[in-house]
């Protein structure tokens, strides 16, 4: 069945958070730390693949938070906290990642891309921590496109840059 699924496919796109490694706990701690510093530790949130900026916009609106910081500063502080937590962690790729990656890259000869809503700065730190630097043909980050996932722009841009048909 797997063989038929990859028939005529030219590329495969990997998401970062929750696909290559489990990032939820690290992001949760980062948000909790920032929420605590703005006296909003009572706020509950879900990440669900959204960008840090989108999450802060939703958190502020849904909880009617009165913030004296610019939203860009909240994003910056969240990313800083995340990177501190990641640096002290034992994060590694999920079980089965390397086997699957080698199959599609080396056996199926497919082009590979890492496509994430995460910023380039944070993504670079993550891929270094996970020791997956240089394995993808292309890495496309959320701050490099005008519309992030679930909008298809990041996928279409990646396909174009890889010189593959977006249908394959």
Start-to-end Cα distance in the chain: 17
Closest CA to 137 of 167, 112, 102: 112
Answer yes or no: do 97 and 158 share one domain. yes
* CB neighbourhood size of 44 (10 A): 8
Residues 35-85 have pLDDT tens digits of 999 988 888 777 777 889 999 999 999 888 888 889 999 999 999 999 999
Q: Cα–Cα–Cα angle for 23, 20, 150, nearest 5°? A: 80
Provide the number of structural domains found in the chain.
2
Distance of CA 45 to the CA centre of its chain: 17
In the prediction, which pLDDT does 1 show?
53
What's this model's pTM, rounded to 2 decimal places? 0.89
Which of 33, 59, 87 delimits the end of a domain? 87
């Amino acid at each position: 069945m797997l063989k038929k699924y990859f028939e005529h496919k030219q590329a495969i796109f990997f998401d970062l958070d929750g696909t290559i490694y489990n990032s939820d706990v690290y992001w949760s701690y980062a948000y909790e730390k920032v929420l605590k510093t703005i006296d909003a530790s009572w706020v509950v949130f879900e990440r669900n693949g959204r960008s840090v900026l989108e999450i802060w916009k939703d958190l502020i609106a849904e909880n009617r938070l009165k913030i004296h910081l610019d939203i860009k500063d909240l994003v910056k502080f969240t990313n800083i906290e995340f990177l501190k937590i990641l640096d002290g962690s034992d994060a590694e790729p999920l079980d089965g990642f390397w086997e699957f990656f080698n199959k599609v890259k080396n056996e199926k000869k497919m082009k590979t891309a890492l496509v994430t809503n995460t910023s380039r700065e944070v993504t670079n730190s993550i891929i270094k921590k996970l020791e997956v630097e240089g394995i993808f043909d292309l890495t496309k980050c959320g701050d490099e496109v005008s519309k992030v996932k679930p909008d298809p722009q990041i996928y279409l841009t990646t396909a174009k840059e890889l010189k593959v048909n977006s249908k394959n």
